[in-house]
Protein backbone atom coordinates (compact mmCIF):
# COMPACT_ATOMS: atom_id res chain seq x y z
CA UNK A 1 0.00 0.00 0.00
CA UNK A 2 1.13 3.51 -0.64
CA UNK A 3 0.96 6.43 1.79
CA UNK A 4 -2.34 7.80 0.47
CA UNK A 5 -5.24 8.35 2.83
CA UNK A 6 -8.00 5.84 2.19
CA UNK A 7 -11.41 7.47 2.03
CA UNK A 8 -14.52 5.38 1.67
CA UNK A 9 -17.37 7.68 0.71
CA UNK A 10 -20.23 8.00 3.19
CA UNK A 11 -22.67 6.46 0.75
CA UNK A 12 -20.59 3.26 0.87
CA UNK A 13 -20.66 2.92 4.68
CA UNK A 14 -22.94 1.25 7.17
CA UNK A 15 -22.49 3.07 10.48
CA UNK A 16 -25.83 2.91 12.30
CA UNK A 17 -26.19 0.09 14.85
CA UNK A 18 -29.76 -0.53 13.67
CA UNK A 19 -28.50 -1.21 10.16
CA UNK A 20 -25.82 -3.58 11.48
CA UNK A 21 -28.44 -5.46 13.52
CA UNK A 22 -30.79 -5.65 10.53
CA UNK A 23 -28.10 -7.28 8.37
CA UNK A 24 -27.17 -9.69 11.20
CA UNK A 25 -30.80 -10.68 11.78
CA UNK A 26 -32.17 -10.83 8.22
CA UNK A 27 -29.06 -11.41 6.12
CA UNK A 28 -26.94 -14.43 5.29
CA UNK A 29 -23.47 -15.22 6.58
CA UNK A 30 -20.40 -17.05 5.44
CA UNK A 31 -16.93 -17.31 6.96
CA UNK A 32 -13.39 -18.47 6.42
CA UNK A 33 -10.55 -18.62 8.97
CA UNK A 34 -9.84 -14.88 8.83
CA UNK A 35 -13.14 -13.09 8.14
CA UNK A 36 -16.89 -13.42 8.66
CA UNK A 37 -19.15 -11.99 5.96
CA UNK A 38 -22.78 -10.98 6.55
CA UNK A 39 -24.72 -9.73 3.57
CA UNK A 40 -28.23 -8.81 2.52
CA UNK A 41 -29.69 -7.91 -0.85
CA UNK A 42 -31.18 -4.41 -1.20
CA UNK A 43 -32.93 -4.27 -4.59
CA UNK A 44 -32.88 -0.85 -6.16
CA UNK A 45 -29.79 0.28 -4.26
CA UNK A 46 -27.35 2.16 -6.50
CA UNK A 47 -24.13 1.05 -4.78
CA UNK A 48 -22.95 -1.50 -2.25
CA UNK A 49 -22.39 -0.47 1.37
CA UNK A 50 -20.00 -1.97 3.89
CA UNK A 51 -19.68 -2.08 7.64
CA UNK A 52 -16.51 -3.19 9.39
CA UNK A 53 -16.18 -4.74 12.83
CA UNK A 54 -12.79 -5.33 14.42
CA UNK A 55 -13.12 -6.29 18.07
CA UNK A 56 -10.84 -5.28 20.92
CA UNK A 57 -9.65 -8.87 21.30
CA UNK A 58 -7.68 -8.41 18.09
CA UNK A 59 -5.28 -5.91 19.64
CA UNK A 60 -4.75 -2.28 20.47
CA UNK A 61 -6.16 0.62 18.45
CA UNK A 62 -3.16 0.68 16.10
CA UNK A 63 -3.65 -3.00 15.20
CA UNK A 64 -7.43 -2.67 14.79
CA UNK A 65 -7.11 0.46 12.64
CA UNK A 66 -4.53 -1.25 10.43
CA UNK A 67 -6.91 -4.16 9.80
CA UNK A 68 -9.79 -1.76 9.01
CA UNK A 69 -7.53 0.24 6.68
CA UNK A 70 -6.59 -2.95 4.80
CA UNK A 71 -10.25 -3.93 4.47
CA UNK A 72 -11.31 -0.48 3.24
CA UNK A 73 -8.49 -0.44 0.66
CA UNK A 74 -9.46 -3.92 -0.56
CA UNK A 75 -13.07 -2.76 -1.02
CA UNK A 76 -11.89 0.32 -2.91
CA UNK A 77 -9.83 -1.83 -5.27
CA UNK A 78 -12.81 -4.16 -5.82
CA UNK A 79 -15.34 -1.31 -6.13
CA UNK A 80 -16.32 -1.97 -9.74
CA UNK A 81 -16.69 -5.71 -9.21
CA UNK A 82 -18.97 -5.88 -6.15
CA UNK A 83 -22.70 -6.33 -6.74
CA UNK A 84 -24.20 -2.86 -6.10
CA UNK A 85 -27.45 -4.08 -4.54
CA UNK A 86 -25.73 -5.51 -1.47
CA UNK A 87 -25.07 -4.42 2.10
CA UNK A 88 -22.01 -6.21 3.48
CA UNK A 89 -20.63 -6.46 7.00
CA UNK A 90 -17.16 -7.86 7.58
CA UNK A 91 -16.03 -9.09 10.99
CA UNK A 92 -12.30 -9.65 11.38
CA UNK A 93 -11.11 -12.77 13.21
CA UNK A 94 -7.92 -13.25 15.19
CA UNK A 95 -5.71 -14.52 12.31
CA UNK A 96 -6.04 -11.14 10.54
CA UNK A 97 -3.55 -9.75 13.07
CA UNK A 98 -0.74 -11.57 11.24
CA UNK A 99 -1.87 -10.75 7.71
CA UNK A 100 -0.58 -8.18 5.26
CA UNK A 101 -2.80 -6.24 2.87
CA UNK A 102 -2.58 -8.78 0.04
CA UNK A 103 -3.58 -11.64 2.35
CA UNK A 104 -6.56 -9.65 3.67
CA UNK A 105 -7.68 -8.83 0.12
CA UNK A 106 -7.28 -12.45 -0.98
CA UNK A 107 -9.39 -13.63 1.97
CA UNK A 108 -12.06 -11.02 1.20
CA UNK A 109 -12.17 -11.96 -2.49
CA UNK A 110 -12.54 -15.61 -1.47
CA UNK A 111 -15.62 -14.82 0.63
CA UNK A 112 -17.20 -12.50 -1.93
CA UNK A 113 -16.70 -14.94 -4.80
CA UNK A 114 -18.02 -17.92 -2.80
CA UNK A 115 -21.30 -16.06 -2.25
CA UNK A 116 -21.35 -14.68 -5.80
CA UNK A 117 -21.18 -11.08 -4.65
CA UNK A 118 -18.51 -10.30 -7.25
CA UNK A 119 -19.54 -9.40 -10.79
CA UNK A 120 -17.73 -10.93 -13.72
CA UNK A 121 -15.03 -8.80 -15.34
State the pairing for strand pair 49-53/86-92: parallel
Residue 3 in any domain: the answer is no
CATH code for the domain of 94: 3.30.230.10
| The pLDDT value given to residue 8 | 65
pTM for the model = 0.87
| The pLDDT value given to residue 119 | 85
| The pLDDT value given to residue 9 | 74
How far apart are the C-alpha atoms of 19 and 49, rounded to whole Å? Answer: 11
Residue 119 in any domain: the answer is no
Per-residue DSSP letter, 116: T
Structural domain boundaries enclosing 94: 10-114
Residue 2 in any domain: the answer is no
**Tally of domains within the chain:** 1
Q: What is the mean pLDDT of each run of 10 residues along the chain (121 residues)?
A: 58 89 94 95 90 95 95 91 93 95 95 89 57
Amino acid sequence: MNGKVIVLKKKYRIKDNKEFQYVFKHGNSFANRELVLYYIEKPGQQHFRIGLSVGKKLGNAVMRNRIKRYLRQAFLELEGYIRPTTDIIIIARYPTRQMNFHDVKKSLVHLLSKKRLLLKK
